[in-house]
Amino acid sequence: MLKFPYCNVTDLNQALAQCRFVGLLGPLASRRQSPRAVVSCSPSSSEFSLTPVQAVMSCQQQVGSSLVNRLRLGGLTEDGLSYKEKFIIRGFEVGINKIATIETIANLLQEVGSNHAQSVGFSTDGFGTTPTMRKLHLIWVTARMHIEVYKYPAWRDVIEIETWSQNEGRIGTRRDWILNEVATGEVIGRATSKWVMMNQDTRRMQKVSDDVKEEYLVFCPREPRLAFSEKNNKSLKRIAKLEDPVRYSKLGLKPRRADLDMNQHVNNVTYIGWVLESIPKEIIDTHELQAITLFYRRECQQYDVVDSLTGLELTEDSKTVSVGTNGSATATATTREDDHDCHRFLHLLRLSSDGREISRGRTEWRKKPTR
Amino acid sequence: MVATAATSSFFPVTSSPDSSDSKNKKLGSGSTNLGGIKPKPSASSGSLQVKANAQAPPKINGTTVVTSSVEGFKNEDGTGSPHPRTFINQLPDWSMLLAAITTIFLAAEKQWMMLDWKPRRPDMLIDPFGIGRIVQDGLVFRQNFSIRSYEIGADRTASIETLMNHLQETAINHCKSAGLLGEGFGATPEMCKKNLIWVVTRMQVVFDRYPTWGDVVQVDTWVSASGKNGMRRDWLVSDSKTGEVLTRASSVWVMMNKLTRRLSKIPEEVRGEIEPFFMNSDPVVAEDSRKLVKLDKSMAEHVRKGLTPRWSDLDVNQHVNNVKYIGWILESAPLPVLETHELSSMTLEYRRECGRECKLQSLTTVSDSSVGDLVNVGEIECQHLLQLEEGSEIVRGRTQWRPKYAKSFGNVGQIPAESA
């Protein structure tokens, strides 16, 4: 039995603040039912809200904490509202440019999101669902993804990714990421994504009550925190649907078994690969992907066949789309100097069979820096 | 996707990606340094850092915490009330109490855990990023990998591609840490001078058990001589926690002149560089001496055409990565096999490589069974051929499959002891 010769609440405040309670909640929470409360001990607030902790504290579980948790170079941040993890870029994660591919970056974002969910006590099977969601047969699906990479890490570089999630609108949740290079501390990328809940059985999006949302929102910052805080940032840009005829295409893409996730669906990162399939070789050889935005409309199953279409994006300023007579893509807005080496494309992924849209997207490419 | 070399990316090498590598050449012993990385102890709140912030005492007993904070409070306050604080008449309300208990418990437990794991696994501190290090008298290279969520396949176990990538990664890192990575294409410095490269000709892998999400695997790799002019690289993959053997693999490499594309003997200078690293040991996987048959269309029961590489299948030289070939071969296995069985072993012979513009087809024959009956059969064996549609052979293979959830009772492998 613990003794607490506290004299008053203020002493308790001090003790708790010093102990960084919330930060410590992380690793333990994964080994029991999700705790119902979080204490926010941010130094800026002079008082804090406490709600009773209902979790049972059984130390036996904690001592056998998994090796992977210890090896994982990440954890909740001090205020418990975001999660950071370090990764080293491995040899098989780099591509033809000797730098990490966009698929590697996307995979790491997914991994960090999943580890965040695990560390706050959600499922340990990688789906990131809360207990109530599982009871209601709900799973998370991505609705939108936007990634910007300012500098691609190379083999053996160590990067750190911070992620957090927040409420968005009535049915969505947003997850944001910031990537930085550990060696220099510079921000090398940012990303934001929108997720909605889908019923596993009906495969339809489902609204949930606020209580269900609250289960995970306790771990989210209440004050809006955006990876892309600037107004009119690219992540919000509307993407027009590409119409035939399109400039570039790659038809008949079939999901491989390796593209399926644990849910037996084509995972989101594969879509990125499909979008890139119809980019012409001249661009891939000389440019690197600066930003990619994808709206996910329909899920793709193992036996679907997909067409990937790419067209040039017409910008507001340009009067005509200039296309070289040899068919190679040239900048859409040649009037603006800063776009001289920048290419922008619109994309559409659709089912080969009936043309239904699976995903639409937008990419921006910049000239490869000399390394 | 692999940062590797000329003919095949199973190469234990690559052209060094950046200048930080020049700081890393350390022969043999010690752990590799990350030249470009300056660990910042005060940086983010990774799990290693949390204890610094916890300021929690190594005791569960709450009094120690309280005393220090109370004292702190007193000092700041300035007034300080020296009257004795009795427990009974100062009971805080219950929710506060519960929260306080939790805090202290968590803080203490955190300290406890930190103290607990340090001595048990000192190697993790030396190698926090899992780059790997040389063990066992400088001849074996060891690296840990945790299985990430996106590396899990539809079967909920780590995909074959992930496991093969780990093997490849340790091979490259071994060469790097042993100083056997010259400039350019998968070759030692002496080899580079003579335009020689290593080419993998044969690969055998046995999968005893597949790791799942959250597992940490330990990959050990070493090299030995193979005949007079070849090299053999072996791998032993085990579960870091239990030591159970998960995968065993053995590969054979020969030397080729990259300009003439002809096989070459190992020159004396190169022998001098690599022989110190050879272990005298038997292959970790007993050699499957059965000849690999070349299938032709008339024999093949299943043909999958129109396989074209995606951008992500290519390595730095725009050749298709070896690991991807395995993926294609497996993709073409009959669906009933894929759904009810898991790969228990495979033997591959590499013939040629291909690039982005290739169109391939994959032929598969199931030996000794009819497809319709597959669900009821125990072990299944398949023969494979991956070739360009116009005919050139890329890879020949044989795979064995066991029903999912069946345990394998193969020999437990061990790192061979160095024999003088």
Average pLDDT over residues A312-316: 74
Average pLDDT over residues A57-82: 60
Q: Do A15 and B101 touch (CB under 8 A)?
A: no
Q: What does the block give as tokens for B395?
A: 């890879």
Residues in A touching B213 (Cβ below 8 Å): 125-126
List alpha helices for B248-346, DSSP H. 268-274, 322-331, 335-340
Cα distance from B190 to chain A (closest Cα, Å)? 23
B40 at the A interface (CB within 8 A)? yes
Decide whether B125-284 matches B288-405 in CATH topology. yes
**Are A225 and A272 in a shared domain?**
no
User: What is the per-residue pLDDT for B369?
Assistant: 53
CATH of the domain at A232: 3.10.129.10
- Specify the residue for token string 């061979």: B416
Q: Which of residues 147-206 of B touch A (CB under 8 A)?
A: 147-150, 152-154, 156, 159, 161, 165, 168-169, 172-173
Backbone angles phi, psi at B88, to 5 degrees: -65, -45
- Distance from CA of residue B362 to its chain's centroid? 27
β partners of residue A359: A296, A349
Nearest to B92 among A12, A57, A66 (CB): A12
**Are A232 and A104 in a shared domain?**
yes
Nearest to B113 among A65, A73, A98 (CB): A65
Q: Which of A206, A236, A266 is the last residue of a domain?
A: A236
Which comes out higher in pLDDT, residue B35 or A96? A96
Q: In which element (H, E) is residue B100 found?
A: helix B94-120
| pLDDT of A337 higher than 60 | no
* A13, amino acid identity: N
* B411, amino acid identity: N
| pLDDT of A352 higher than 70 | yes
Neighbour tally for A355: CB within 10 Å: 10
Is B3 strand, coil or helix? coil
Mean pLDDT is lowest, of A161-170, A213-222, B88-97, for: B88-97
User: What is the per-residue pLDDT for B63?
Assistant: 39
Q: Do B312 and A101 touch (CB under 8 A)?
A: yes
**Are A227 and A262 in a shared domain?**
no
Whether residue A174 lies inside any domain: the answer is yes
Tell me whether 0.90 is exceeded by the ipTM. no
Whether residue A329 lies inside any domain: the answer is no
Quickly name the fold that domain B125-284 has. Thiol Ester Dehydrase; Chain A (3.10.129)
User: What is the per-residue pLDDT for A3?
Assistant: 40
Residues in A touching B50 (Cβ below 8 Å): 20, 23-24, 75
User: What is the per-residue pLDDT for A31?
Assistant: 37
Q: How many Cβ contacts (< 8 angstroms) between chains A and B? A: 283
Q: Do B44 and A160 touch (CB under 8 A)?
A: yes
| pLDDT of A40 higher than 70 | no
| pLDDT of A17 higher than 60 | no
**Are A215 and A140 in a shared domain?**
yes
Cα distance from A169 to chain B (closest Cα, Å)? 28
Average pLDDT over residues A137-157: 90
Whether residue A309 lies inside any domain: the answer is yes
**Residue B138, phi-psi category: left (phi > 0), alpha (psi -120 to 50), beta (remainder):** left
Query: Would you say B7 and B353 are in contact if contact means Cβ atoms under 8 Å apart?
Result: yes
**Are A212 and A247 in a shared domain?**
no
Q: Into how many domains does chain A fold?
A: 2
Nearest to B1 among A2, A78, A92 (CB): A92
Q: Do B315 and A96 touch (CB under 8 A)?
A: yes
**What gap in Å lies between CA B263 and CA B354, rounded to an integer?**
19
Mean pLDDT of chain A: 74
**Residue A142, phi-psi category: left (phi > 0), alpha (psi -120 to 50), beta (remainder):** beta
What does DSSP say about strands B196-207 and B216-226: parallel, antiparallel, or unpaired?
Answer: unpaired
Cα distance from A223 to chain B (closest Cα, Å)? 21
Nearest to B85 among A7, A9, A97 (CB): A7
Closest-CA residue to B170 (of B125, B220, B211)? B220
Which comes out higher in pLDDT, residue B304 or A347? A347
C-alpha distances (whole Å) from A244 to each of A247, A311, A319, A343, B354 are 9, 9, 20, 20, 33
Residues in B touching A277 (Cβ below 8 Å): 310-311
Residue of B nearest to A301 (CA): B154
**Are A219 and A242 in a shared domain?**
no
Q: Do B103 and A19 touch (CB under 8 A)?
A: yes
Closest-CA residue to B153 (of B209, B205, B212, B208)? B212
Which residues neighbour B297 within 8 Å (Cβ) at sequence distance 6 or greater?
Answer: B303, B363
Whether residue A319 lies inside any domain: the answer is no
Which comes out higher in pLDDT, residue A224 or B45? A224
How would you class B195 by CB atoms within 10 Å of its CB: exposed for 0-12, middle for 13-18, buried for 19 or more?
A: middle
User: What is the per-residue pLDDT for A50?
Assistant: 29
**Are A144 and A248 in a shared domain?**
no
* B375, amino acid identity: V
| pLDDT of A4 higher than 60 | no
SS3 string, B224-262, reads EEECCCEEEEEEEEEECCCCCEEEEEEEEEEEEECCCCC
Which residues neighbour A208 within 8 Å (Cβ) at sequence distance 6 or greater?
Answer: A133, A136, A138, A171, A197
- Distance from CA of residue A117 to its chain's centroid? 12
- Distance from CA of residue A153 to its chain's centroid? 17
> Domains of chain B: which residue ranges?
125-284, 288-405
- Of the ranges A8-17, A45-54, B221-230, the best mean pLDDT one: B221-230
Whether residue A19 lies inside any domain: the answer is no
Respond yes or no: is residue A263 known to be catalytic: yes
Residues in A touching B318 (Cβ below 8 Å): 96
Q: What does the block give as tokens for B20?
A: 């930080």
Cα distance from B420 to chain A (closest Cα, Å)? 34
First to last CA, chain A: 62
Q: Which of A216, A236, A256 is the last residue of a domain?
A: A236
Residue of A nearest to B335 (CA): A257
Whether residue A160 lies inside any domain: the answer is yes
Q: Do B70 and A11 touch (CB under 8 A)?
A: yes
- Report the interhelical angle of B322-331 vs B160-177 (nearest 10°): 170
The radius of gyration of chain A from alpha carbons, rounded to an integer in Å, stands at: 23
- Of the ranges A236-245, A276-285, B119-128, the best mean pLDDT one: A276-285
Q: Do A71 and B98 touch (CB under 8 A)?
A: no
Nearest to A2 among B46, B49, B101 (CB): B101
Q: Do B56 and A155 touch (CB under 8 A)?
A: no
Average pLDDT over residues A304-318: 80
User: What is the per-residue pLDDT for B112?
Assistant: 57
Query: Would you say B334 and B300 are in contact if contact means Cβ atoms under 8 Å apart?
Result: no
**Are A186 and A301 in a shared domain?**
no
Cα distance from A115 to chain B (closest Cα, Å)? 9
**Are A218 and A291 in a shared domain?**
no
Residues in B touching A62 (Cβ below 8 Å): 109, 113
Owning domain of residue A265: 237-314+341-370
Question: Which residues of B are known to be catalytic?
Answer: 317, 319, 354
- Specify the residue for token string 């995903």: A359
Q: Do A59 and B109 touch (CB under 8 A)?
A: yes
Residues in B touching A55 (Cβ below 8 Å): 102
Q: Torsion angle, CA of B184/A108/A69/B104, rounded to 10 degrees?
A: 130
Average pLDDT over residues A166-191: 90
Whether residue A348 lies inside any domain: the answer is yes
User: What is the per-residue pLDDT for B175?
Assistant: 85
User: What is the per-residue pLDDT for B417?
Assistant: 46
Q: Do B130 and A16 touch (CB under 8 A)?
A: no
- Specify the residue for token string 């603040």: A17
Q: Do B216 and A67 touch (CB under 8 A)?
A: yes
Quickly name the fold that domain B288-405 has. Thiol Ester Dehydrase; Chain A (3.10.129)
C-alpha distances (whole Å) from A236 to each of A147, A192, A231, A276, B387 are 12, 10, 9, 21, 46
Which comes out higher in pLDDT, residue A209 or A74? A74
**Are A124 and A219 in a shared domain?**
yes
**Are A226 and A269 in a shared domain?**
no
The residues of chain B scoring below 50 in pLDDT are: 1-82, 115-125, 184-185, 370-371, 407-420
Is B15 strand, coil or helix? coil
**Are A230 and A258 in a shared domain?**
no
Residues in A touching B17 (Cβ below 8 Å): 94, 98, 154-156
